[in-house]
Amino acid sequence: MPAPDVAALAEKLIAGDRAALARAITLVESKRADRRAAARTLLDTLLPRTGGAVRIGVTGVPGVGKSTLIDTLGTMLTARGHTLAVLAVDPSSTRTGGSILGDKTRMARLAVDPNAFIRPSPSSGTLGGVAAKTRETMLLCEAAGFDVILVETVGVGQSETAVADLTDFFLVLMLPGAGDELQGIKKGVLEIADMIAVNKAEGENAGRARSAAAEYRTALSILTPASSLWTPPVITVSGLSGAGLDALWEKVLDHRARHEAKGLLAERRRAQDVKWMWAMIDERLRARLTQDPQTKALLARLQAGVAAGAISATAAAEEVAVALGL
């Protein structure tokens, strides 16, 4: 396959060409060395046009209704003149690496909305269920003119700090009927949440949703807010009917206005950039471990030794470090 014309691709992407955006995302997701070089050039070219979007992370346990809520919220936003990109991170199989990639079917209205773009992406086992190239994809979408970016995470129990380190606002969705769910909720998620929304607050669930919201407010009250500017609100919403989504969006804008006024939004994004740099370094180092033939052979021998009890994990790690000159 011939090398991409990066300048032409960038020009088409900036002009709003969806096919060019899709090709650009495929390019940054490539693991080939020549493609990675082209991707770096493309991102450097587009960087001045990024940073203008509202970046929102959405997480919650499977079945909480993330996709339905995003479909309804996104349709509301595009009706108001916004352009929306949804980066839906699908769970990859730990056995085969396969991914369902079914978000386009779960977001039926957005899938045909000319002002929306949905990009399913397999998580490939990355921390927090965030695809390895989600950040670069987000930058490409911003350069293409999208002013709201929603990152939907897997929400299957891994650390969700990864998505908080990509976005400006971290929304955690909960189910009605706090009870046992409240006992099982991860304190770490509450500590980084910018808002908790109890979803499915419709019909017979409405009363349970209000009770759950009260429980979550109590849980949040014993935690120290991450910022003196913002106390995470707890609201009830319905992704099915759209109830409460106006209030949700107003809270997002309020959070953004407060943090922009104090320069904290720019500060947060700079800190995220540094964290992402280290994430990329970690990725490249791990790639070296798994791609270099000699290192692969060493790792296979040591792994077998650790599994057999012939060598300790500490000693094996030290041997790898010495072999790499670390």
CATH of domain 1-48: 1.20.5.170
**The CATH number fitting domain 50-261, selected from 2.60.120.330, 1.20.950.20, 3.40.640.10, 3.40.50.300:** 3.40.50.300
**For position 129, what pLDDT does the model report?**
45
Q: What is the pLDDT along the chain (326 residues), one digit of tens a residue?
A: 566 789 999 999 999 999 999 999 999 888 787 888 899 999 999 999 999 999 999 988 878 899 899 999 999 999 999 999 999 876 553 433 434 445 556 788 999 999 999 988 665 555 544 656 888 999 999 999 999 999 988 665 554 677 888 899 999 998 887 555 554 555 667 778 899 999 999 988 899 999 989 888 888 887 777 777 899 999 999 999 999 999 999 999 999 999 999 999 999 999 998 988 887 788 777 777 777 888 889 999 999 999 999 999 999 999 988 888 77
| Whether the domain at 1-48 and the domain at 50-261 fall into the same CATH topology | no
- Amino acid 263: pLDDT: 94
E strands, the chain, where? 54-59, 84-90, 116-122, 148-152, 169-174, 195-198, 234-236
Q: What is the pLDDT of residue 98?
A: 38
pTM of the model: 0.85
CA distance 213 to 215: 5
305's enclosing H/E stretch is helix 293-308
Predicted local confidence at residue 324, as pLDDT: 80
Cα–Cα distance, 287 to 133 (Å, whole number): 15
Q: For residues 167 and 153, what is the distance between their CA atoms, to the nearest angstrom?
A: 12
- The rounded distance, in Å, linking the Cα atoms of 240 and 203 is 11
CB-based contacts of 46: which residues, under 8 Å, 6+ apart?
10, 13, 14, 139, 140, 143
Map out the domains of the chain as residue ranges: 1-48, 50-261, 274-323
